[in-house]
Amino acid sequence: MAEGLGSYPIRFAGHERGLNMRRIVTTAIGIVLLLYGGVLAVLLVVAVVSHSGWFHGKLPPDTLPTTASQAEDVAFSVASNAGCGNFDSELPPLSPAAWRFGCSIGDVPYAIYVYGGDEALSAGLAELRADGRPFVAKAYYAVTAVPYGPSKDEVLNATPPPASIMDPFR
């Protein structure tokens, strides 16, 4: 008599189907894992899209940056627009409101200075003028060629004179 108590099937929607605990647990674990995977995928997409270190150039070159990350985006936009490769974002900042980045076109290395305000811009441009090197300044950034190779006199006395190395940034 006691043996038949647990063997009665449960009826669902008009047909008999035994209640199997293993099937219930397996299905529940599968649903939990699917939801967990979906949440991880969404978090990964959000992290990739929002992490500015992975995607540069979201800001136009005429943006006034307030953080190092924004300054990097501005500098990357400037470099990209000029066809400047080998972008270097690892240079130390000049001050809390002035940042320096590097890139190169061919064999010519360039320094891109991005300024976080009018005071930093004025001070930075005064320093570039005092250096005596040619530079291009627009909005809140300036670009100058990093000295290398032959001296200024050798370049100026070359025949024919070289094209301005600052032209890509004008």
DSSP 7: G
pLDDT digit string, tens, across residues 10-67: 655 555 555 577 778 888 898 999 999 888 888 887 766 555 445 555 788 889 999 9
- If one counts every other C-beta atom within 10 angstroms of the C-beta of residue 123, the result is 16
Opening angle at CA 103, ends 102 and 105, nearest 5? 150
Residue that has been written with the tokens 């005092």 in this structure: 130
Entry pTM: 0.62
Q: Where are the domains of the chain?
A: 2-50, 68-169
CA distance 139 to 58: 16
Residue that has been written with the tokens 């035994």 in this structure: 18
Amino acid at 143: V
